[in-house]
Structure 1
Amino acid sequence: MHFTSPISPRKARSLRVGFWTLLVVIAVIGVLVDRVNINRLKEIARTDAYEEVNLYRAKLESQINSNLQMVRGLAVAVSEKDNLNQANFTKIAAPLFDHSQILRNIGAAPDMVITWMYPLKGNEKAIGLDYNKVPVQREAALQAKNSKSIVLAGPLKLVQGGEALIARVPVFETESNQFWGLLSVVIDIEKLYNAVDLQTLQDRFNVGLRKIDNVNNDDKGFFLGSTNLLNKDALVLKINLPNQQDWELYAYPKAGWQADSASLWPFRLTLLTFLCLFTAAFVFLNRIIKQIQDNEQHLNTMSHLAEVGAWSVDMRTQEVFCSEVTKAIFETPSNFQPGWLNSVDFFEQGLHRRRIQEFMDRAIKLAQPFEDEFLITTDKGNMRWISIKAFPRVEKGRTVEVVGSLQNIDARKKIELEHDKIARHNELLARITTHEALLGNQLDLAHQLITDAVCSGLAAARSTVWLFDENKQHLIPTAFSHTKAKAWEQFPHGVPMR
């Protein structure tokens, strides 16, 4: 009896071709997916590195700017000081070194000639230096005088050893606004690095710092690190310094951008298993689909953690779309559907609501993208700072849609505002503690100075200083920021305590 094979040679060849084709397709897809996975993990590593390096950028920026802010207060005190001498200069300059880890010395140069120095010991040779007669110093000194702003030079090598930044701070007389001279502030660069613990960052990254103004020099403006960082895919973060004398911080991992091997190999082993078990190809396909879903879920999770949402406005239908993260930021129900007219009601009345309306108006009419920060009141009544980026989509010369992102920056913004408040209070404190009224024990003038400073620092219309009497039974008004005569008429005998 003749038995015919149920699989013909042609069908067998087709199955073999189909098998190898499937195997090659699976292999190619596997390699591509592996490359995507590597790139994804590299981007995650890069994002984590950016957050870490950004902390050091903020520390460097804060250290330099906070110290220059204190010196601004010293400049005000110097301009208001009559008959200044070395002893008086020492008295008003010394407190700055109690609050700074990086200051090396401060020199006062009335009429461009260094006359007083703190600390004086070890810096005696600098006394008498005339900036007008030293070409290396003259250009920066005149630039500070003419621009009426701080000029930051360096890092420069010092004769006594080490490197330092030198800030030229112009001083103008308070009443006449006449040029008084300069304050020369020397910031020890090594102490600056130690203050921000830069060595810890250098243990893992190739770190570079460069001045943006000097990018055309042979060293491309680098004063720390190598110019080779320009040829690498390094992180670049801007350090904002006074008067646009900004730096750039470069960071590149010593081993390059690497994907986490612990996250790579499980997928590769799975891929090899599926290549061997060709009969289970559909399982591999399901694994890919699951991997994509996991990736999408991971991206959604990252979006929730970073609190970055999406939104869009369709100009043709007047429909407003908000992602789930955006709704979470505004604390609205998941089924909430914002309208074209009530969307701006979340923004604080006044400046913030007017600005978002103006920005949207320009985006629609002029196709202008925008990015700004706004204060909103959520659906639950909570005030929150957000950052909005928007980009108009134009067709045939008309804006048909405005799309953008929205991020919750409330924590960072409050920290920035608190830092600004602290810097403002530090400046007022520097002015008060170095004022001649306190140093000269002029009580009436000192009382007026303190109440005026309280009004300025707290944005208050009036302030009063009260002291207990000897029996601690009455509060006695001691100083008023408004007219003293009227104040005493209002409180002639103090206020009894209950």
Structure 2
Amino acid sequence: MQQNNSGIVRITRYLGKPLVCGLLTFLFFLILGSFILWQRYQILKEAEQREMANLIGFIENNIDHALKNSHTAALNLALLVESDGSISAFDEVAPGLLKNYPLLDAVQMVPGGIISMVYPKEKNLEVLDYNILEDPAVNREAFRAMHEKQMYFAGPFELRQGGLAVVGRLPVYIQNEFWGFSAVIIKLESLLEEAGLEKLGGDKYDFQFSKVDVKTGKETYFLPPLSEMSGYYTEHISFPDGDWKVYIALKEPGEVFYSLLPIGFFMLLLAGWLGWAMTNLLKQPEKLQALVKMQAGELSYNELKFRTIFNQAAIGMARVNSITGSFLETNLRFQQLFGYTPSEIKELNIVEVTHPDDMQEDLDKMKMLRQGVVREYSMQKRIRRKDGELRWVNLTVSPLWGDGETPTTHIAIIEDIHDKKTAETHLKESYEMVMEQNKRLLNFSYIVSHNLRSHSSNIESILNLYEETGDPEERKNYMRMLEKVSAALNQTLYDLNEVVSIQTNLDLTVQDLKVKDYLEETLGLLKVEIEKRNARIYTNVPEEMVVKFNAAYMESILLNLITNSLRYSSPHRDPEIHISGKKVENEWMLEVKDNGIGIDLKRNRDKLFGLYKTFSNRPNSRGVGLFITKNQIDAMNGRIEVESKVDAGASFKVYFK
């Protein structure tokens, strides 16, 4: 026992020597400074990586935008292919496409895999009559486009007419039979310029563009090679539409390290000075005592300063119990975000202030944090304020326990991103609306082109026959035929005008409508037709069924659905029509069910609501009513469903938002 005590005394005396304590102080602060320097290095390196990721994301968006425009151009070319396989108006449309899409160098029509049309023609004569499906150098990517039945960008490769380019091929099918390709050509330098590599690189970054060769499986590079030193910092993105990759790397990867050398030297000097200071302090006990008092005051000041920064920070901060999720300490901004007082918020936990749909993700990540799988995590979630308002925030969680230690508490940092998230949601909704309008416009333009051209051809043929014959009786017959075609043309124009009116009316008047009143009014209008067909109508629409809808659309929808039930009744039985309404979850549903001839949905479901699509040989069938009904319901954000069997009637269900 006495030996142990004497050993402790010797160690205490040894550590009490100023030189030893000064050396230990120097080593401690040298290690601490090295750690801080390393952390700073990691932060700067991560910042560089984030900047590179942002740049590569921007380049990805540019290339993706360019490819989507090229896809649109190829789709416009595909629309030139007639149902008989012929190509119409290529020479008129092609110049306009190159003018509207400056990125394109040329466009091609490739029926059966043979390039038969190209614009501009003078620069591309070498590729005319070139069969790409028989050339092993390019046919693999062409067959891939055929197999996947979608646009695929081949290359970059050397063109027969000269130059390195990317070729986008869109397979075209007529009645599910492969017809050929519509193709667009983009020079590689044009694509890279559109991506903005040169502008974005500047003096800081290098870029590389590559592709995996379909024959060898090796990666081919098209730009000067990147520095070998930059590999550690490299980010890259892939484009599955073309099997390409774009790389970005730092020109000077050691720049961050070199920038920290002065700080490292300063920390070395600081550690040496602190060791020297400790030595002097131990040599001068009185000065040491005064210094200790001064440091105690500074510590109190720093703690006060920390508390001030904590409470006045522009972002919400909280110390949270990692086991129970309760709030132990929060700053002012955190309390303002949630709308609670400090005492109120201490009575709550994370589950009570988190939106239920986001809770599971938060709990799963918290579990991974406690298990040591991750050292921190971030996520976007919705919080519920005291007044019930939901707001989007960005949450970052960091543990306050070390590796291998038992989880205790963690720091939660919350940033209000509600306005940004709302703007993103609105932008996404606007984009989806524009894309839907574009689809409708493309379909409508095809219908207009097909139907008006059909009528104009009939009129032209009748007039030619009229001019050729001298027989007055035949001329009268041709005039009667011309009147019928003219009437059909007028009806087509009326139908198309009705469709345009629905799809372009952005300022519809919406009001609370009592469905039962509109149903009774519609049945009154159809009373003669109902009695004529000896039809029995059964209604079960509740008085409280009130929906927000356009009045004119409601009248049209009811009239079309009931008229269809009467028009397509079975010749073997009297018509029976059941009209009912009920609440399905949080929306009203109106059902019109009949016992008529029915519809073969296995054959006709995809074209059920198409314009001029008919499913019976009834003479008065025009294929317009259901098309207009579907468009009116879509315009009001509703939906329509159909159940039917041949000779067993049909059921149309309309769901109102």
- Per the TM superposition, whether the score is higher than 0.5 is yes
Question: 1:423, CA displacement in angstroms?
Answer: 7.3
Which structure would you say has the larger Rg? 2
2:349 is aligned, of 339, 342, 346, to 339
Inter-CA distance 54–385: structure 2 relative to 1 (3 Å threshold): farther
Listed as ranges, the gaps of 5+ residues in structure 1 are: 1-9, 348-352, 392-399, 465-479, 487-498
Question: 1:222, CA displacement in angstroms?
Answer: 4.6
1:425 is aligned, of 406, 431, 434, to 434
Matching of residues 122-137 of structure 1 within 5 Å = 122-137=123-138
Q: Which has the higher contact order (CA 8 A, sep 6+)?
A: 1
1:251 is aligned, of 233, 249, 252, to 249
Q: What secondary structure sits across from 2:256 in the alignment? A: coil
Q: Distance in 1 between matches of 2:127 and 2:217?
A: 31
* Residues 52-79 of structure 1: per-residue CA shift (max 9 Å, x gap): 3233222222222223333444455445
Question: Aligned residue for 1:207?
Answer: 206
Alignment TM-score, normalising by the size of structure 2? 0.50
Inter-CA distance 179–157: structure 2 relative to 1 (3 Å threshold): same
Question: Aligned residue for 1:39?
Answer: 38
* Residues 203-262 of structure 1: per-residue CA shift (max 9 Å, x gap): 3345344668679978656544536658732142435x3559463533224152415457
Question: Aligned residue for 2:153?
Answer: 152
Q: Distance in 2 between matches of 1:306 and 1:157?
A: 55
Inter-CA distance 445–19: structure 2 relative to 1 (3 Å threshold): farther
Q: What secondary structure sits across from 2:38 in the alignment? A: helix
Matching of residues 146-225 of structure 1 within 5 Å = 146-159=147-160, 162-173=163-174, 176-209=175-208, 220=219, 222-224=221-223
Which letter maps to 2:41?
K
Inter-CA distance 89–38: structure 2 relative to 1 (3 Å threshold): farther
Question: Aligned residue for 1:476?
Answer: none
Q: What secondary structure sits across from 1:20 in the alignment? A: helix
Inter-CA distance 343–147: structure 2 relative to 1 (3 Å threshold): same
8 Å Cα contact 2:158/2:165 also seen in 1? yes
Greater Cα offset, 257-266 or 119-128: 257-266
Q: What secondary structure sits across from 2:146 in the alignment? A: helix
Question: 1:198, CA displacement in angstroms?
Answer: 1.9
Inter-CA distance 424–192: structure 2 relative to 1 (3 Å threshold): farther
8 Å Cα contact 1:115/1:128 also seen in 2? yes
8 Å Cα contact 1:327/1:334 also seen in 2? no
Which letter maps to 1:109?
V
Matching of residues 333-412 of structure 1 within 5 Å = 333=340, 335=342, 336-337=345-346, 338-339=348-349, 342-344=352-354, 346=355, 353=357, 356-357=359-360, 384-385=391-392, 411=420
Q: Distance in 1 between matches of 2:318 and 2:160?
A: 55
Question: 1:132, CA displacement in angstroms?
Answer: 1.4
Aligned length: 429
* Residues 77-135 of structure 1: per-residue CA shift (max 9 Å, x gap): 44544548777335555555455453333323233222333444422333322221111
Inter-CA distance 220–130: structure 2 relative to 1 (3 Å threshold): closer
Q: Distance in 2 between matches of 1:462 and 1:121?
A: 57
Question: Aligned residue for 1:58?
Answer: 57
Question: Aligned residue for 1:236?
Answer: 235
8 Å Cα contact 1:234/1:252 also seen in 2? yes
Inter-CA distance 409–124: structure 2 relative to 1 (3 Å threshold): farther
Aligned residues with identical type, % of pairs: 15
1:88 aligns with 2:89: yes
Question: Aligned residue for 2:19?
Answer: 20
Question: 1:145, CA displacement in angstroms?
Answer: 0.9
Q: Distance in 2 between matches of 1:189 and 1:254?
A: 27
Q: Distance in 1 between matches of 2:271 and 2:214?
A: 48
* Residues 312-334 of structure 1: per-residue CA shift (max 9 Å, x gap): 763xx575789769947964447
Q: Distance in 2 between matches of 1:450 and 1:103?
A: 32
Which letter maps to 1:163?
L
Q: What secondary structure sits across from 1:135 in the alignment? A: coil
8 Å Cα contact 1:371/1:387 also seen in 2? yes
* Residues 8-32 of structure 1: per-residue CA shift (max 9 Å, x gap): xx99x96898333233323323432
Matching of residues 291-330 of structure 1 within 5 Å = 314=323, 317=324, 319=326, 327=334
8 Å Cα contact 2:384/2:391 also seen in 1? yes
Which letter maps to 2:132?
Y
Q: Distance in 1 between matches of 2:352 and 2:242?
A: 40
Which letter maps to 1:339?
N
Q: What secondary structure sits across from 2:186 in the alignment? A: strand
8 Å Cα contact 2:208/2:247 also seen in 1? yes
Inter-CA distance 274–383: structure 2 relative to 1 (3 Å threshold): same
Question: 1:141, CA displacement in angstroms?
Answer: 0.8
Q: What secondary structure sits across from 2:35 in the alignment? A: helix
Inter-CA distance 388–111: structure 2 relative to 1 (3 Å threshold): farther
Which letter maps to 2:189?
E
Q: What secondary structure sits across from 1:179 in the alignment? A: strand
